[in-house]
Amino acid sequence: MQALAAEEVTKRFREGCDPVDVLRGVSLSLERGEVVALEGPSGSGKTTLLSILGCILTPTSGRVVVDGEAVDPARTERLPAIRRRAIGFVFQQYNLFPALTAAENVEFALNIRGVRGPGARTEATRAPDAVGMTDRAGFLPRDLSGGQKQRVAIARALAGRPAVLLADEPTANLDSRTGSRVLELFRELAKREGSGLLLVTHDPSVRTIADRVLAIRDGRLTA
């Protein structure tokens, strides 16, 4: 079952009076339970592409479909609802709320998705257990290691079982051993939960857990 699709996506920005084409006809698909790595140097367009796939930006032209719903560039008011319903994000900097415990960070994400009360609390308890953080569920981010923070970030992104999981340089702040463990966890959970996982990265070790590897250069997919 398809989690995400992009067809001939372009993105044009303006620098002063000059147009800059950042994406040039990018097409890709992501199935539920599939792990895809997207590689590319700085300035290749991968962050812009991730923002469009994550319904943060709209394309200049082309089509994006997220979990069966076509993204209409003319209806930007729909983007937050699509993000909440269908997309989980994991960032390089973790982006955890410092005043909330690991479990509370997960519960907050569920609240944003409309899951509240006992159901949210039950899921917030289950999610840290799924990433091996049962004994740290009551800890604040300041009391967690980098690897533990990223595990909480993964649990938060998967809360509510979104169709799409997007990860932006998720191992950049981790040592190689911890990064490898986090990547294996990513793959295991994507397969178990049925979320399509797209990892944007410079880390070549991501290739070891990916079902497919794509490369982007100068705004075009090259593999």
**Cα separations in angstroms, 182 against 51, 169, 189, 206:** 23, 12, 10, 10
pLDDT per position as a tens digit, 200-212:
988 888 888 999 9
pLDDT of residue 223: 64
Instruction: Annotate 11-24 with b (16+ C-beta within 10 A) or e (fewer).
Output: beeeeeeeeeebbe
The rounded mean pLDDT for the chain is 88
Query: In this predicted structure, what is the pLDDT of residue 100?
Result: 92
- The yes-or-no verdict on residue 12 having pLDDT over 80 is yes
pLDDT, tens digit (0-9, with 9 covering 90-100), for 30-53: 999 999 999 988 888 898 999 999
Instruction: Identify the CATH number of the domain in which residue 189 sits.
Output: 3.40.50.300
**Is the confidence at residue 60, as pLDDT, over 80?**
yes
Which tokens in the block code for residue 15?
A: 């620098």
Whole-structure pTM value? 0.89
Look at the chain and report how many structural domains it folds into: 1
Using a pLDDT cut of 70, give the percent of the chain over it. Answer: 99
Nearest alpha-carbon partner for 169 in 155, 186, 152, 156:
186
pLDDT at residue 164 in the model:
94
Range of the domain at 131: 2-221
Distances (CA, A) of 171 to 12, 123, 180, 184: 29, 25, 8, 11
Q: Which residues 6+ apart lie within 8 Å of 126 measured at CB?
A: none
Pick left, alpha or beta for residue 95 (phi over 0 → left; psi -120 to 50 → alpha; otherwise beta): left
Eight-state DSSP code of residue 208? G
Between 25-39, 54-68, 101-115, 117-131, the lowest mean confidence (pLDDT) is in 117-131
**Structure tokens of 48?**
């812009």
